[in-house]
Amino acid sequence: MSISTTSASSRVSLPFKCRSNSGAIPRPDHPRFSGNLRTTSGKRPYGNSSLILRFPPNFVRQLSNKARRNCSNIGVAQIVAASWSNNQPPSPAAAAVDAAAVSAPIAAGEDVVVDNNNNHNNDSNYNNFVQFESVENVDKLSFLNGAGSVAIHAGERLGRGIVTDAITTPVVNTSAYFFKKTIDLIDFKEKRSISFEYGRYGNPTTEVLENKISKLEGAESTLLLASGMCASTVMMLALVPAGGHIVTTTDCYRKTRIFIETFLPKMGITASVIDPADIAGLESALNNHKVSLFFTESPTNPFLRCVDIELVSKLCHAKGAVVCIDGTFATPLNQKALALGADIILHSATKYLGGHNDVLGGCISGSTEIISQVRNMHHVLGGTLNPNAAYLIIRGMKTLKLRVQQQNSTAQRMAELLEAHPKVKRVYYPGLKSHPEHELAKKQMTGFGGVVSFEVDGDITTTIKFVDSLKIPYIAPSFGGCESIVDQPAIMSYWDLSQAERAKYGILDNLVRFSFGVEDYEDLEADVLQALEAI
């Protein structure tokens, strides 16, 4: 769709992109105008209903006084202001806002033409201009080359659907979205206008976060859900048919394994469980089953094993299977699973994306086609992310690069320190040469994350004494936050199993998982060393 403003001497076309996923499109106030406006074909499409467009924020203030007086809706003001370049006077086309008049929306594929020869050269606010050159930059963000900059600005500074001059994205706390007239509701139902309609189908604050993650992951679409487990389970239910088959790995988050092994079989869905490096096992499963989905973490939990994402994706795609990688341990900064060939990248946003141990959330990113399938299932199941949680994750992502850089550095140094310590039997960290997938990790990751797992030289009692002697980290589940966290998986996650049953999964009593925060390395090093000396 293009919208144009025309004066006697110029014409400016500004493309505006509407979200394609059904039922999940932002719906700011309807742009209604009065006066004489027609499409290029001369028609007034759709009667008196309205089309909702997405504009860059806060343009009305930056129009001239006369433009603000004569503009009957913020939408026209934004259309014109979006064409102004920074520190340049408005073009003749921009002056057309004074006569902007419309009582109906625009049909898809048609141009809106507004004719006016008025100017604002005598207005006192003539030099108060907007800071963006064009709406065309909304999706391109060509001036943001670094992932850290993208994590801060994507989805917000350009293209935010919420009209505001606030730097931070507002929280839209609403459970439903209203229609001004019944005709507007009918237009929405017949897909001539757009709306979230109901809180379960979307929220402007949440959409900002979805767009931010999509840009960071290089994805067409992102779906936010209430937690990482919600994202995993809804994704599987949406993409694996009854009687389908999943391939997953031995090392993974326990609750994910429970869902695959306990709940999915009730729907006739079976699974093959292979070692993360067992390519022959994957090929066997693909040849002997109609595999719908390959799903694993990379790195995995808690042994930080790595999967050859590029090779796995080629093998699975040849058999028509979808590949989903849980990249929570890696973060979008350390690994780009979609660029390596995966179809879906999943994150527990509770961890590094949120980054402050204060919010639950999950997300999946990929092509619009695949994510739309999951979104439709999500709309039925209703695991909706609260907009306040979305705001906290948006806030957390502003410091994502700074936190991850510090955590990568601390974890690498601590892993090397622990591996050389006589009271540590074994260390699991992709950044170590001793790690079984170290070379693979170097190939497909730019950093190895902030979690280090290791085995203390001793039994469960000795390991408990080590953990209890630590002064900085909290004994808690989760990871990826500013505060360091430590736990013994045998107690924290597998205590309901016997020692022999835990050993089947490699979970020994002396295993420790340490998530390093952003504290000073020297403080963490001293704390770990004194705790080791205590055993």
Which of 209, 205, 426 is CA-nearest to residue 304?
A: 426
Question: Could you tell me whether strands 344-348 and 322-326 are parallel, antiparallel, or unpaired per DSSP bridges?
Answer: parallel
The conformation of residue 83, written as its DSSP 8-state character, comes to T
State the Cα–Cα distance between residues 332 and 340, nearest whole angstrom.
12
Question: Could you tell me whether strands 221-225 and 362-366 are parallel, antiparallel, or unpaired per DSSP bridges?
Answer: antiparallel
Handedness of CA 375, 379, 383, 384 (dihedral sign): positive
Handedness of CA 229, 234, 236, 242 (dihedral sign): positive
The conformation of residue 120, written as its DSSP 8-state character, comes to -
State the Cα–Cα distance between residues 368 and 221, nearest whole angstrom.
5
Catalytic positions: 200, 253, 326, 351
Beta strands in 153-278 (DSSP E): 221-225, 245-249, 270-274
Q: Is-contact 94 129, C-beta < 8 A?
A: no
Instruction: Write phi, then psi, for 203 (nearest 5 degrees).
Output: -155, 140
Written as one string, the DSSP assignment of 9-52 is S-EEEEE-PPP-STT-----------S--EETTS--TTTT----
